[in-house]
Amino acid sequence: MSLPNFLDMYKKLIANPSVSAIDRSLDLSNKAVIDELANWCRELDFEVEITELTHSPGKFNLLARREPLDKNLTEGGLMLAGHTDTVPFDDTRWNSDPFELTEKDNKLFGLGSIDMKGFFAFVLNAIRQLEHSQQSTPLMILATADEETTMAGAQQVAQHASLKPKYCVIGEPTDMVPVFTHKGHMSSAIRITGRSGHSSDPERGLNAIEIMQQVITQVLQLKEELKNKYSVEHFAVPHPTLNLGHIHGGDNANRICGCCELHIDIRPLPGLSIVELEQMLLTALKPINEQYPGSVDVIDLHDPIPAFSGRTDSGLVKLAEKLSKQKAIAVNYCTEAPFLQQLGCETIVMGPGSIAQAHQPDEHLAMDKIKPSQEIILNLIQTCCFNKEEAS
């Protein structure tokens, strides 16, 4: 087979559903996307390694490597990384088929068009323009699974013993603005177990909703403590955030509520460890658990994701700023960067499309951004891997 053109690659990637969801009824394998990428990478002389996730059967990572033809040039290199899964979708809110790349109003619509299957079309289209014989350092393409849920794919890659790129660029949608640092993500359920009973005799029960009211008071105090104690000026929201996102409990007005559960979302800054944050939450709830022994449980809704911290003076950041003509920024959302950074590589987040479109109905890429985004990606690969002046 021959490598399809840019738009055909885009279409094929969008056409293969690869939804990642905690709800198993919505969760899908990403194998079809991985197989498509594997075939295209082989067309460009890459050696391809496909690995099933240890703890997520049916989910796969792809690592494609292409070494320089000069076997003495095998150190360092560039890894271009992205995830193959998408969020779930509500087709009643889409104006087109989420799995059919649709061109309208100078935009390309489709689930994953910018978050972030489309990035692979940009990367492969750039590499096809470069002569393998001129390659001077290793070039790698990483495609991961389950970024939108557990980030299990990236966490497994971080343990890869022989993967040691010098640079890593994660192609999340940043409008090609380099991102050098971002916050982490911690989602927790606070579950109150009371004792149900008839509402006519409150003393015979233990009302979980009433205990939850005390929990919320403590959690809101923690929110203020985080806001007042920690700050990093690079971020548009300079402090850690804490959001009360979901609550449910009880079953009827005339029954004492026996169970109530609150889901919270915390976004820690670089420098605030997950362990420290978890301890702060437990400390805040300790007086309530002492008053009502065994009534308060804190449960991770997913493995916490640490913040990502890079340096504005790194060679890769400086190169990305030069090519994009944009200063590197900090963002409030999180990516696979803290895990891939564990490989020992300089790491940034930079890719085509706007984050404002991510996780939205009618997700799309503005077509007038294709040419400038493609040029930056091509120049990045050339500079790092094809005898141009390398980032230092």
User: Catalytic site residues?
Assistant: 85, 147
Contacts of 290 (CB under 8 A, 6+ apart): none
Estimate the share of the chain in helix, then strand, then coil, as percent rounded to the nearest 5.
30, 25, 45
CA 165, chain centre distance (Å): 20
E strand or H helix at 118: helix 118-127
CA 156, chain centre distance (Å): 14
- Closest Cα partner for 184 from 355, 303, 10? 303
What size, in residues, is the chain?
392
- Closest Cα partner for 194 from 184, 178, 182, 209? 209
Q: Omega of the bond prior to 116 within 30 degrees of 0, cis? A: yes
Orientation of helix 6-15 relative to helix 31-43, angle to 10°: 160
Backbone angles phi, psi at 245, to 5 degrees: -100, -25
Q: How far is Cα 23 from Cα 148, in angstroms, rounded to an integer?
A: 12
Give me Rg for the CA atoms of the chain. Answer: 23
Q: State both tokens at 221.
A: 């105090």
CA 258, chain centre distance (Å): 36
- Closest Cα partner for 60 from 176, 152, 197? 152
> With the CA atoms of 43, 44, 49 and 52 taken in that order, what torsion angle do they form, in degrees rounded to the nearest 10?
-60
